[in-house]
């Protein structure tokens, strides 16, 4: 939109808005923050539009973009807070903290001589203290098990890579598994590294897990879809009122043109993840397993302001190759109802039975090669529906997790036993084959729960809880000794969607 096309005539809406702002700033009875007044006005306008258009301040914009941009600047540690103390889970390999000698299990008790141990601080506030511009220095006070006193380290902050691939491993002979957590700047590069590694290990077929993947960069999604599709296959197209239709097509030079593909989705799979899923399904390159995806198919264009703030304005819709609009229905300005959509799916039984989902004939589409029926109306419907398993986690288990009893007990256990565990199980293979959760570990959790007045209803519920609790604990211990990939190697064996895909891979 050019400056010449903006109407500032005396009867124009823009002139009216300008006069209102000037009147409030200059004449209102009390002092007003003019910057905030304008920001509130922008937010007010945006709120009357679709659910995904948004205004963010400079700080909010920076925080929002960091996970997608592939890096942030800080000291390079994974940490958690246990009893008001920051516990280092793992330093980032070759990161600034590891380079000065900080190790897993260290407790950071002070930052620049300011105590943070024993002080109630949110994780977000502590992150702000630890992050800072590349090249800046931060002085940390560290307490290390077996070493008296407080150790002092000076860490030079640096760029810290953000991983978007959660896990990559051979799940069954000749079948690889890759889980993508989000689509960021580095996702394609990470994905191809994972593919190369798995193919060296004998991968012929692939399970691509996009459960809980909330999306991200369109370019990354298109790059990954390209790896599966033949030359000139349509991946996705966009269309809007003021924007011309734009098509994204495969180049035909992918590394995954052969072999079986199964994509996993659930109700939290959204945006860029739905683009990949829709392309593979519509082009009959693979099948989709799970539950209907979220249904976020609105294209946002960033409009940057000089102060670092930004408007993300919806300008078009995403469409799958068969012509399905990914976006689920919404009413302008009714963000609360839109936000409650997943809750409505629970109430209507959609997450438990595919039969509860009803589609009009007008929402039926055909895949492009095999002419299978697929459905529009918002989100991607899987080819094989897997209901939400309400028996997997008992009420008692959910209470333990909600109160952070499981995660805190795990952090203490690993902190106390890290050296012995690493010595006894030098490789993850050893750990998988031989490690069992000690009964004393489980008893500590049950006793802590009882102190917080959380108890199983009866022995039947307790016995139903124990197998999943032990599996979760084993996965968490593996995560803290190795990484997220090892966590998923364990936890996936109880994931009904993953297990359905494994069975289908054998039977196809």
479: helix, strand or coil: helix
What is the phi-psi region of residue 128: left when phi exceeds 0, alpha when psi lies from -120 to 50, beta otherwise?
Answer: alpha
Dihedral angle, C-alpha 309, 314, 315, 319, nearest 10 °:
140
366: helix, strand or coil: strand
Whole-angstrom distance, CA of residue 84 vs CA of residue 109: 10
Instruction: Kindly state the tokens that stand for 331.
Output: 């009413």
Q: Residue 151 forms beta bridges with which residues?
A: 142
46 and 53 Cβ atoms separated by less than 8 Å = yes
Whole-angstrom distance, CA of residue 369 vs CA of residue 32: 62
Catalytic residues: 271, 282, 296
Instruction: Kindly state the tokens that stand for 406.
Output: 């499981």
Nearest CA-CA partner of 270 in 344, 126, 378, 133: 378
476 backbone dihedrals φ, ψ, rounded to 5°: -70, -40
Whole-angstrom distance, CA of residue 132 vs CA of residue 113: 16
345 and 352 Cβ atoms separated by less than 8 Å = no
HSE (side-chain half, CA atoms, 13 Å) at 444: 16
- The total of other beta-carbon atoms located within 10 Å of residue 308's CB is 13
What HEC string does 41-96 produce? HHHHHHHCCCCCCEEECHHHHHHHHHHHHCEEEECCEEEEEECCEEEEEEECCCCH
Whole-angstrom distance, CA of residue 319 vs CA of residue 247: 10
Distances (CA, A) of 443 to 363, 455, 462, 464, 474: 53, 12, 12, 15, 15
208: helix, strand or coil: strand
């Amino acid at each position: 939109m050019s400056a010449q096309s903006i109407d500032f005539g005396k009867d124009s809406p823009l002139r009216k808005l300008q006069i209102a702002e000037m009147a409030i700033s200059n004449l209102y009875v009390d002092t007003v923050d003019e910057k905030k007044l304008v920001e509130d006005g922008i937010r007010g306008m945006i709120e009357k539009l679709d659910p995904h258009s948004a205004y963010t301040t400079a700080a909010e914009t920076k925080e929002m973009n960091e996970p997608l941009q592939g890096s942030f600047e800080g000291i390079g540690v994974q940490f958690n807070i246990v009893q008001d103390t920051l516990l280092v889970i793992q330093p980032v390999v070759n990161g600034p903290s590891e380079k000065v000698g900080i190790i897993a299990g260290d407790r950071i008790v002070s930052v620049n001589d300011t105590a943070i141990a024993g002080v109630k601080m949110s994780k977000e506030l502590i992150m702000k203290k630890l992050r800072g511009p590349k090249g800046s220095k931060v002085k940390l006070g560290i307490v290390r098990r077996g070493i008296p006193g407080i150790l002092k380290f000076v860490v030079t902050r640096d760029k810290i890579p953000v991983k978007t691939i959660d896990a990559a491993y051979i799940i069954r002979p000749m079948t690889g598994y890759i889980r993508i957590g989000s689509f960021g700047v580095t996702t394609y590069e990470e994905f191809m590294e994972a593919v190369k590694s798995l193919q060296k290990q004998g991968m012929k077929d692939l399970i691509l897990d996009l459960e809980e993947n909330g999306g991200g960069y369109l370019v990354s999604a298109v790059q990954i879809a390209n790896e599966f599709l033949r030359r000139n296959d349509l991946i996705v197209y966009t269309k809007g009122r003021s924007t011309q239709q734009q098509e994204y097509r495969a180049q035909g030079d992918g590394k995954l043109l052969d072999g079986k593909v199964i994509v996993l989705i659930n109700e939290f799979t959204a945006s860029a993840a739905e683009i990949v899923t829709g392309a593979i399904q519509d082009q009959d390159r693979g099948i989709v397993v799970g539950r209907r995806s979220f249904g976020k198919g609105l294209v946002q264009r960033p409009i940057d302001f000089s102060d670092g703030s930004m408007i993300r304005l919806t300008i078009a819709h995403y469409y799958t190759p068969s012509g399905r609009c990914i976006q689920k229905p919404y009413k302008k300005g009714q963000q609360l109802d839109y936000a409650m959509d997943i809750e409505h799916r629970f109430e209507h039984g959609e997450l438990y039975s595919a039969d509860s989902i009803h589609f009009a004939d007008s929402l039926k589409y055909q895949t492009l090669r095999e002419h299978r029926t697929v459905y529009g109306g918002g989100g991607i419907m899987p080819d094989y529906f897997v209901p939400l398993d309400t028996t997997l986690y008992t009420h008692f288990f959910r209470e333990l997790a909600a109160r952070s009893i499981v995660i805190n007990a795990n952090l203490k256990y690993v902190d106390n036993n890290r050296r012995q565990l690493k010595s006894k199980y030098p490789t993850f293979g050893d750990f998988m084959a031989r490690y069992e959760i000690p009964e004393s570990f489980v008893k500590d959790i049950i006793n802590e729960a009882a102190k917080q007045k959380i108890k199983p209803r009866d022995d039947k519920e307790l016995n139903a809880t124990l197998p999943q609790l032990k599996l979760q604990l084993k996965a968490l211990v593996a995560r803290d000794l190795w990484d997220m990939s090892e966590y998923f190697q364990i936890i996936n064996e109880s994931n009904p969607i993953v297990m359905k895909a494994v069975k289908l891979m054998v039977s196809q």
